[in-house]
Amino acid sequence: MIGAQAVYLHAPDNDLAVAPTTTDADLGLDPDLLGDSPLLEDLLSAAGFVLTGEPGIWMSPHGSTVDLIVPESLAGSGRRGARLGAQGRRAARRAVGIEGCLVDKQATSMSALEDGDDRRFSVAVAGPAALVVAKTHKIAGRRDEGRGRLNDKDALDVYRLLRSVEPRVFSAGFALLVGSELATSSTQWAVSEFARLFGEGRSLGVEMVARATEGLVPEAEVRAACPLLARDLLAAVRAARPVAGR
């Protein structure tokens, strides 16, 4: 599990006045763990999901979506859909910067939300360091597109993590990321970009957080807190000792 749902698991008791709300779920896929059968499309269709006009975006009968996402470096050739061999080109989409979510992760027991539904599943949830890296790539990518697709909520999710997660936890996560052949390149780029986005009171990321919390959190508090918390994270990165892995 990646994206906002994973962020809320790491910041469940955040005291921000902005409510954590999302109806969608983002799931990162490791192609190396996928077999040729059963087909993802068959399983999702049997559960009532319908593939939208975009690869990897599946609509539930209730109107919420599940996005199946493969890291760009593992997605093969192409522009939108991930090339997954027998699984086809439309079951999942590709995204830059989520490699770390396959490295910095932890199995978590997830229960159903509805009363009377006692189902539980063990789901791998991306760690805070991987989520900061992924969100940084997303914000920077949309900024560079210049198409007006920046979503202030992405920066707010980063702010939630910075407020809620201890530096030692970030340091442990970044130790995994920078020691990983799969994730080190995207992580190093994101750390540099993170400093530009959140390192100063008038940086783009801080501007986004200020807009997302307008009228709910004093702007001066946001502009002062973001750079301080960003420096704490960068210090945690510098303190991380790489742990060799995938």
* Contact criterion met (CB below 8 Å) for 152 and 209: yes
18-74 residue pLDDT tens: 656 667 889 999 999 999 999 999 999 999 999 999 999 999 998 889 999 999 999
Residue 244, pLDDT score: 74
Report for 19-23, 75-79, 115-119: range of highest mean pLDDT: 75-79
The HSE-up count of residue 204 (CA atoms within 13 Å, CB side) is 15
Q: What is the pTM of this model?
A: 0.93
Q: Are 187 and 234 in contact (CB under 8 A)?
A: no
What is the residue whose two structure tokens read 């990165």? 237
Task: Report the range of poorest mean pLDDT among 9-18, 31-40, 125-134, 176-185.
Answer: 9-18
What pLDDT is recorded for position 12?
Answer: 78
Instruction: Pick the most confident of 10-14, 15-19, 140-144.
Output: 140-144
SS3 at position 164: helix
In angstroms, what CA-CA distances link 73 with 91, 156, 187? 17, 27, 13
Could you report the per-residue pLDDT of 196-246, keeping only the tens digit for each? 999 999 999 999 999 999 988 899 999 999 999 999 999 999 999 888 766
- Mean pLDDT within 164-179: 96
The predicted structure's pLDDT at residue 62: 87
* Predicted pLDDT at 18: 66
CA torsion, ordered 166, 172, 178, 181, to nearest 10 deg: -130
**Most confident option among 16-20, 101-105, 119-123:** 101-105
Question: What per-residue confidence (pLDDT) applies to 15?
Answer: 63
Average pLDDT, the chain: 93
Is residue 152 within 8 Å of residue 208, measured between CB atoms?
yes
Q: Identify the H or E element spanning 123.
A: strand 120-126
- Which tokens belong to 172? 């442990």
111 vs 104: CA distance, rounded Å:
22
- The helix/strand/coil state of 26 is strand
Please tell me the predicted confidence (pLDDT) of residue 242. Answer: 85
- pLDDT confidence of residue 112: 79
* Weakest mean pLDDT among 13-27, 34-48, 106-120, 148-162: 13-27
